[in-house]
Structure 1
């Protein structure tokens, strides 16, 4: 038990992670308080990094311009939904692509904390490792929400995004993408707890992200893919998440895709969260 004689070490703790009860000395804050405090710290560090924030805000404009122009001719291909503009078809996929990056950003934050010695300091305190991971995941989710707000604003104001499902369907598609992206993002968080540098994490994340997005219905209808790639896309859970988000934005209702994508994503989180917590506990 940490005693009053050890109290000076509390100068190195994130504010609020320990509390003095006046009798038994320093005690750990509750798990909810730990998550709140560590999340606030991570979000603050994100907002103070102006270069990272600027790049994160510019990226949605680049995605809209690049993907919207490169693949715009697909509207004339067989199998493309009749009467649907490509920007209306594309944006729900970008919702999910952007949301998936929440886990990668959280993983990068963990690697940076390990490199700076912050994780080693937290390990000396009565802090549940899961609080550190949840805090980082929520901070990554906050960054993704900011990017999605900018993505939607640019799509509406610059690219004329006006889906048939209306604002309600669009917001439901965003919410669905956030749930799926945050859940699947725990794969990257678990990976970050097993690697010791950002370069390795980026390389592995790229290998994982590329087939998930391009072997799916993100940019082209599955019927328009080569037969072998279409079979791969039909097994890809991201395809069902994109189709569900697309249905919400185009029609205002979710079809069967949501019944596949959400359980698979939540099951993935349920499996990888314990792995991530165990991996973080072994670090240092």
Structure 2
């Protein structure tokens, strides 16, 4: 007769399991978030095409009314718009990241994950990295369509476009923390969407995205100068158009670092609160 499994002696305890390393947890949780995106293929395809339609629409609408004399010499409106649209495109995925976190809270996914030996902040970081990968794919498709099919030809060439893409990814990742913090605090998809619109529209339109700042009314020009996204758009535009950089890139990176630091701190603090 085959002996059964031996039991531990009385008075002994099995070794405690403290879970995997933080890096392993981060990788697995990021893969989980990516699989959630890939599972909804139609939504993913529409998300990839959305910035292309925005570029087509805005370049035709604003391009027909903007005086090219107010743009840098030899720069078409398409080349002027493209770097800024890289930044504004990232706002959508950043909002979606917050809404996705709210849904995970509502459907019990966060509650189940909290029962495991997982570092809670890694749930937020994993979501931010997964959404950053999706955003990078969106922006890459936007650049390819703009250059290959729409005739965009910025003076910075391919190097400038890639540099602008990398800078935009840093800025978008920082922005994601704003909406993750809102989601962790509000914990309601409806409230999250309302708050996102209140934050998004001033950031997008009170900026240097669509027209030069010096062509705006005085009060709006002040808001555009104070808008942190204006630094990112100006830096992205300087990289794409091969203009003197000055302190634009460092200003954009510094503003992004500050936003990421404050946003992640607020998000982690709000996320640690009990779910009910």
For 1:104 and 1:117, the matched residues in 2 are separated by 21
For 1:255 and 1:170, the matched residues in 2 are separated by 18
C-alpha contact (below 8 Å) 1:100/1:182 kept by paired residues: no
Residue 173 in structure 1 maps to residue 158 in structure 2: no
* SS of structure 1 residue aligned to 2:185: coil
Matching of residues 182-197 of structure 1 within 5 Å: 182-197=173-188
Matching of residues 32-51 of structure 1 within 5 Å: 32-51=23-42
**Partner of residue 73, structure 1:** 64
Indicate the larger mover: 204-213 or 271-280: 271-280
Can you give the 5+ residue segments of structure 2 that lack an aligned partner in the other structure? 1-12
C-alpha contact (below 8 Å) 2:164/2:239 kept by paired residues: yes
Aligned residues: 263
For 1:66 and 1:190, the matched residues in 2 are separated by 32
Choose which of 238, 258, 276 in structure 1 pairs with 2:249.
258
Choose which of 241, 262, 265 in structure 2 pairs with 1:271.
262
* SS of structure 2 residue aligned to 1:199: helix
Deviations 1:31-50 (A, max 9, x none): 11111000001001101111
C-alpha contact (below 8 Å) 2:98/2:183 kept by paired residues: yes
For 1:159 and 1:58, the matched residues in 2 are separated by 15
**Partner of residue 138, structure 1:** 129
Q: CA deviation at 1:253?
A: 5.5
**Partner of residue 122, structure 1:** 113
For 1:236 and 1:61, the matched residues in 2 are separated by 25
**Partner of residue 205, structure 1:** 196
Can you give the 5+ residue segments of structure 1 that lack an aligned partner in the other structure? 1-21
Q: CA deviation at 1:25?
A: 4.3
**Partner of residue 234, structure 1:** 225
Q: CA deviation at 1:255?
A: 2.9
For 1:202 and 1:222, the matched residues in 2 are separated by 28
CA RMSD of aligned residues (A): 1.6
Change (3 A) 1:283 1:147: farther
* SS of structure 1 residue aligned to 2:241: helix
Indicate the larger mover: 97-106 or 144-153: 97-106
For 1:225 and 1:252, the matched residues in 2 are separated by 22
What TM-score results when the alignment is normalised by the length of structure 2? 0.91
For 1:162 and 1:72, the matched residues in 2 are separated by 16
**Partner of residue 93, structure 1:** 84
C-alpha contact (below 8 Å) 1:103/1:184 kept by paired residues: yes
* SS of structure 2 residue aligned to 1:274: helix
**Partner of residue 20, structure 2:** 29
C-alpha contact (below 8 Å) 1:101/1:181 kept by paired residues: no
